[in-house]
Each structure stands twice: as C-alpha cells, then as structure tokens.
Amino acid sequence: MEVIFLGTGTSQGIPVIGSDHPVCKSNDPRDKRLRVSVLVQCNKNNILVDCGPDFRAQMLTHNISHLDAILYTHEHNDHTAGLDDIRPFFFRQGDIPVFAHERVINSLKKRFEYIFMAENKYPGAPSVGINIIENKVFEFNSLSIIPVNLMHNRVQVFGYRFGDFAYLTDAKTIAPEETTKLKGVKVLVINALRQEQHHSHFSLQDALEFIEEIQPERAYLTHISHTMGFHEEVQAQLPPNVYLAYDNLKITI
Ligand SMILES: [Zn+2]
Ligand SMILES: [Zn+2]
C-alpha cells in the first residue's frame, strides 16, 4: 500500500492569504500546505480521503488518471469543496463512488444539489454513486475498511483504518472503544493543529499523547496550522518515530 499526502494544511492552507507570518513567508517547500487529503493506493485502487478545495491541483501534481472512490471524513468545507472537480474522472469512468456518513451525504446534497439531482440534470454535471456508511467495517473492491468514530468538538468525524494504516483527522476526542480499533496499526496519521490547545483539534501535545497510547511503528502529523512553526524546527523536537507530514510525501506501508 502506498499513501500520498496530497495536502497537510489546516482550513486556510499555508501560506494564509495576505499573511506576513514568517511560516507563511518560508521558502521551505515543506512549509507550503494545501488543504488536507490523502490518496491511498492499494491493489491498483486509487482511494481518496476527502476532496477539498485544492483537489484539482493535487490530482494534476500527481498525474492521477483514475479515481476509484472518495471517502469523506466530515462535511467541513476544507474536506469537501472540490467535489465539482471530479468531472474529468466522471467523463472517463461514469459515476464516482462516494462513501460517507448519512449526515455528510445530506450536507453534500444541499451544497451540490445539481450533482445529486436524479432527473433533468444539467448537461456536463458529474454524478456520484452514494454509499452511506455506519460505524462498522465495510468492503470496497475486496478491501476491508474500518471507520473510526472521532469527535471534532460537536461534529462527528470518521477516521479510516486500512489494514496496517490508519488516517484520522479533525479529531479532538476519541472514545476508548474507538481507540481499540487502532490496536496493532503500524502507521498512524493523526491531526495536530498547533502548539496551543484548540476547541476542535488535537494540539501537538494531544497528538503526541495519543501516539504514545496507540504505539504505532511510525506516526505522521497532519492538518497543520502556520502557527505550529517552521517544519524543520518542529520536526527536530519530535520523538524519533513521529514525523510532521508534508505535501507530496509518499509513504509505503
Ligand atoms: Zn473539520
Ligand atoms: Zn479540517
């Protein structure tokens, strides 16, 4: 299995528009972060987790020519705003399967009404195959995927475990019975917004404590704000098996 970090930034991305913050002015490419998304490549499947506002640029950067499914974590705009840009995939492949909690599907239906219309669709509008998921394991193209329920302040979020790999973003609290699903995971991706505490995201310290509890072989931090600091300086302070993810990083599991 290969995982490409398509974006590792928080909702505004880095640089933030108009910001004079030194991290926003950094020349280190690892300090430039698009909105969060990963592409999981397994058994020739390209499975996208979240389809945010930078989706088009992310697909072009990695020369992705087919998309097998989109899994959504939750309905926030930084995770969903790119849906219209599935059009080139739809024209070549037909309906693109999407998997999400029912509440998230309903939110997408409101915001992208023309994509979900059953009749009298405007020519050129893309279509999706709707798959509502609950908090239980599901299969896609003989791949077994385990949803992990997370809380993002009051918003429910799904993280996903694919075999030895788990991707959890926009978490602030995780119930013990959900943590159990992560036992034995080799590579864990978890959100860490910044050094200071936040009402709906893990801080760096929250994330490090969670990694300590789960004990993966390797952990990667994502959904990073410019206020976290320079990539190089933050990375130097992390435990040896913990890495700040950065855009376009590819890992093999
Ligand atoms: Zn969110
Ligand atoms: Zn987010």
Alpha carbon of 60 to ligand 2 centroid (Å): 22
Ligand 1 mean position, distance from CA 92 (Å): 31
Task: Tell me the CB-side half-sphere exposure of residue 105, using CA atoms within 13 A.
Answer: 16
- Look up residue 78 and give its two tokens: 């930084």
Task: Collect the ranges in the chain with pLDDT lower than 50.
Answer: none
pTM: 0.97
Nearest to 250 by CA among 31, 3, 55, 70: 3
Closest-approaching ligand to the CA atom of 157: 1
Report how far ligand 2's centroid is from the alpha carbon of 78 (Å): 5
Integer Cα distance of 76 and 150 in angstroms:
14
**Cα dihedral across residues 104, 108, 109, 115: positive or negative:** negative
Which ligand is nearest to the Cα of residue 153, counting in written order?
1
Among all ligands shown, which has an atom nearest to the Cα of 158? 1
3-state secondary structure of 142: coil
The predicted pLDDT at position 124 comes to: 93
Check residue 206 and give its pLDDT: 98
Residue with tokens 């998921």: 133
pLDDT at site 96:
98
